[in-house]
Chain A
Amino acid sequence: MQALYAQLLVGLINGSFYALLSLGLAVIFGMLNIINFAHGALYMMGAFVAYFLLNLGGINYWWALLLAPIIVGIFGMILERTMLQWLTGLDHLYGLLLTFGIALIVQGVFQNYFGSSGLPYAIPDQLRGGMNLGFMFLPVYRGWVVVFSLAVCLATWFLIEKTQLGAYLRAATENPTLVRAFGINVPRMITLTYGLGVGLAALAGVLSAPINQVRPLMGADLIIVVFAVVVIGGMGSIMGSIITGFALGVIEGLTKYFYPEASNTVVFVLMVLVLLVKPTGLTGRAA
């Protein structure tokens, strides 16, 4: 049973990353009509920025948790201003191709300087050790990742669904021209939205740095799984992305316990099944 709980915890952690990343993808897709292929690369950048902050600037994990998403978010906003904004009105596929190109550039540059092996990032002192819950041993850091990600996801949901700013955002998703006519600066909102989505990816990167090591290709395979998560959940609903992300992580964890050979593929197999039964995805409207 210990092993089962341990795998469930790993599943929840992966689920946190799926949720944070697919949430960002959904937010970006809503405003920019672009599937951000660079999301995995920006997640990796988040981890690297945390690594640099610690090793070059002596800035600890807690500051990195705040600074890395801001730094990567600014980088993302520069990308949006200089490149992505020119794609408005073009076919969807150009957005995918452009962000794929960006992902290749970012990953290639990091691979050149850091190879393919992982760099260690130590767990902050306050979150070391573990506690005995009676039925299992819980490493504090892993528990923290799950709780903190969930809080961030819910905060994002609150921001978009319950605040004034979120209302503008949702309105601009539906009809940007009309919202502009009301005097709201939609292009700036688009830039900030991209920054927000990218910042969430970077935050996931910082959270994962002490668990998965910091590697140039850490986001490359992850993003494909997240795409499958997005296909399963649909991008129509914020809460849908969060729930699907966590649920798929847990299912993956369970698979690792019961049938480890399929743990790499279970999300993709589920995607196939969902497509066969309900082609629009679990929460999505017809695309």
Chain B
Amino acid sequence: MTTLTDDTLPATPRAMRDEMIVFVVMALLLASVPFTGVYPFFVMQALCFALLACAFNLLVGYGGLLSFGHAMFLGTAGYCSAHALKVWALPPELGILVGVAAAFVLSIVTGYISIRRQGIYFSMITLALSQLLYFIYLQAPFTHGEDGIQGIPQGRMFGVLDLSKPTVLYYVVLVGFLAGFLLIVRIINSPFGEVLKSIRENEQRAISLGYRTDQYKFLAFVLSGTLAGFAGALKVFVAQNASLTDVHWTMSGEVVLMTLVGGLGTIFGPVVGAFVIIAMQQYLAGFGQWVTVIQGAIFVVCVLTFRRGVIGEIAHYFRRSL
């Protein structure tokens, strides 16, 4: 199996320092958004997708497993959080917990099934499983089918943070994103992450060295799915609805696109990719289906000429690990 990214360096102190510097810059930039006049709703939406793409990247970029069904975690967590908030009237923090727990359970089940096959079959299985869930949600009464769950109350987080105020909501989403992001970075730089990379590079050799690769892949799948669920739960507060769009395969495709554009197997790539793709959708909203055509064209161009992605190219040029 040829490698995805030939220049992911091991987690040396210098690489860690670079990552920390870029992280602090990113966090400061994002924290200053409410003072710049940039539309906060756009940034919040992008942050949710960025977290989703980072979670997806954990699996594909570091584990070499291309999931084509990550929308199922986003959508499942979204539906469950939305239901908990609206019907059970739970406070926001518990609503998020319900969504994340649902994604956790779902990722255990789907991971157990899909990890049984490798490579291309894995992608097809995850896609088929997410389509299965799509049809279930289409028919299940609690999702309200085509209408989705609408008008979700945002409530007060921990009883004090009024999430209906855009600025408060913005910082809550930002903190959620940064926490999830740091957790992913920590996983990537942990011994577990190193083993995962070795499985991506050469699974047979990892097995011969005594690693139970199936367990590593399963754990990576569950972590990735659960974190994707966290992104879905946060998105409920931003969009105030949960709909079938979030479980459809087009959404899974968009997540793949974001990660590919930013750079597979780079730490910051998925964030950049998410902002690029969401911005593109925002500006091209008036062009109807041409957006789909452009997205397809980006896929083609990226695969043929730009496989490292934006951040991957920068990292390659400066010989750094980002």
Residues on A facing B (Cβ under 8 Å): 29, 35, 83, 86-87, 89-94, 96-98, 100-109, 111-112, 221, 224-225, 227-228, 230-231, 261, 264-265, 268-269, 271-272, 275-276, 279-280, 287
Contacts and interface: CB of A to CB of B under 8 A. Distances in A.
B123 A265 contact: no
Contacts of B296: 100-106, 108
B204 interface: no
Contacts of A29: 120
B117 A231 contact: yes
A287 B293 contact: no
B127 A98 contact: no
Contact of B128 (A86, A94, A231): A231
8 contacts: A94-B303, A105-B300, A108-B289, A108-B296, A111-B289, A264-B135, A265-B132, A287-B119
Given A91-B1, A98-B304, A287-B117, A268 B299 contact: no
A25 to B, nearest CB: 10
A245 B96 CA distance: 42
A97 B260 contact: yes
Given A97-B260, A98-B300, A265-B136, A104 B124 contact: no
A276 B253 CA distance: 26
A105 B135 contact: no
A100 B299 contact: yes
A35 B120 CA distance: 7
A92 B129 CA distance: 20
Nearest to A90: B2
B128 to A, nearest CB: 4
B244 to A, nearest CB: 13
B253 A104 contact: yes
Nearest to B112: A276
Range, interface on chain B: 35 or more
B303 A105 contact: no
A281 B79 CA distance: 33
A284 to B, nearest CB: 9
A279 to B, nearest CB: 4
B293 A224 contact: no
B116 interface: yes
Main DSSP-derived SS at the B contact region: helix
B131 A94 contact: no
Contact of B116 (A224, A268, A279): A279
Nearest to B298: A101
A254 to B, nearest CB: 18
Most interface-central of B138, B139, B296, B307 (chain A CB within 10 A): B296
Interface of B: 1-4, 60, 64, 66, 68, 113-114, 116-121, 123-125, 127-129, 131-132, 135-136, 138-139, 249, 253, 256, 260, 288-293, 295-300, 302-304, 307
A230 B302 CA distance: 27
A231 B121 contact: yes
Contact of B307 (A94, A96, A101): A94
Contact of B2 (A91, A102, A221): A91
Contacts of A287: 117-121
Given A224-B131, A231-B124, A275 B116 contact: yes
Central interface residue in B131, B249, B291, by most chain A CB within 10 Å: B131
A167 B60 CA distance: 37
Nearest to A87: B303
B8 to A, nearest CB: 14
A224 B113 CA distance: 17
A228 B118 contact: no
Contacts of A269: 132
Given A93-B66, A108-B292, A271 B297 contact: no
A158 B273 CA distance: 47
Contact of A108 (B120, B123, B293, B303): B293
A121 to B, nearest CB: 22
A260 B125 CA distance: 23
Given A275-B113, A276-B113, 15 more contacts: A35-B123, A98-B300, A100-B296, A101-B298, A103-B296, A104-B295, A106-B296, A108-B291, A108-B292, A112-B290, A261-B139, A265-B132, A268-B131, A268-B135, A287-B118
A83 B304 contact: yes
A146 B260 CA distance: 41
A94 B120 CA distance: 10
A272 B303 CA distance: 31
Nearest to B264: A93
B297 A101 contact: yes
B117 A101 contact: no
B292 A92 contact: no
A112 B294 CA distance: 12
